[in-house]
Amino acid sequence: MSDGRVHYGVSHGVATVRFDRPEARNAMTWAMYAELASACTAMAADASVRVAVFRGTSEAFVAGTDIGQFTTFQGADDGVAYERKVEAAIEQIEKLPMPTVAVVEGWCMGGGLVMATACDFRIATPQARFGVPIARTLGNCLSTANVARLMAAFGVPRTKRMLLLAESVSGDEAAAGGYVEKLVLPGDVAAAIDAMCGRLAAHAPLTMRAAKEGIRRITMTNLPDGEDLVRACYGSADFKEGVASFLAKRKPEWRGK
């Protein structure tokens, strides 16, 4: 498979970030994370950008991180470094001064779900699926900060369903729960994006920036340290088994070690 691309462009005050690795449901590679960081840096420095749109190619938003990259991990330190890398990417999205909109037309899993959650609004189709199936697939975990983001967006019961039961949330359920702002049919996505961006672009930029940052600070203040949890999962034999079984397309054998 290719390393994929993260394309960035600006037109009429609207920046668009597009995740492009359709053969892997846009699962993120290290190269894609680097391009995402560059796009966010460019957006933050461009005063002409009034709204930013994040979306994927084909029938996915982002299906997490490419699992093949985990085969080089040697232990807990690699897991901590990886979670810090993901956290840095999420913070860049979250701290963008302009309103952000995630467009989800299919799979939105793992790190992709956290990216969509870091955006201010979400437009989705009924085919969208939101989840973090790592309890069933990999045996790793999210950082405490990313768990906090999901709890703030979905509430505790749905977050537990995703993290413990490894269930996904449908586009319909996500809309009913308020996570998705607009649920539209595939043919209506472009019009919904235009309407949302036009509405946001017409509002006071500094007021929206203050609101975004205030909400972010309240949500992320006084988070407990969760590095011990990351170390316990990424340093385990179960994580190695999860990666190996995922790539071999077989069911993992969890041992709790």
- For every residue of 45-92, DSSP letters joined together read H-TT--EEEEEESTTEEEESB-GGGGGG--SHHHHHHHHHHHHHHHHH
Its pTM stands at 0.94
Cα angle 65, 124, 28; round to 5: 10
Write down all domains in the chain, each with its CATH number in brackets.
5-187 (3.90.226.10)
d(CA 77, CA 151): 26
35, 20 contact by CB (below 8 A): no
Share of the chain above pLDDT 70, in %: 100
Residue 185 Ramachandran class (φ > 0 left, ψ -120 to 50 alpha, else beta): beta
- Per-residue pLDDT at 67: 94
Helix (H) or strand (E) holding 131: strand 129-131
Q: Give the separation between CA 25 and CA 16, rounded to whole angstroms.
A: 18
pLDDT tens track for 141-161: 999 999 999 999 999 999 999
CA 2 to chain centre: 20
Q: Which two tokens stand for residue 191?
A: 């019009």
* Helix, strand, coil content of the chain in percent (nearest 5): 50, 20, 30
Q: What parts of the chain have a pLDDT lower than 50?
A: none
Task: State the pairing for strand pair 169-170/129-131.
Answer: antiparallel
Q: Which residue has the tokens 């990313």?
A: 146
Compute φ and ψ for 242, nearest 5 degrees.
-60, -45
**Residue 59: per-residue pLDDT:** 83
3-state class (DSSP) for residue 107:
strand
User: Which tokens go with 103?
Assistant: 């467009």
Q: What pLDDT, on a 0 to 100 scale, did the predictor assign at position 2?
A: 87
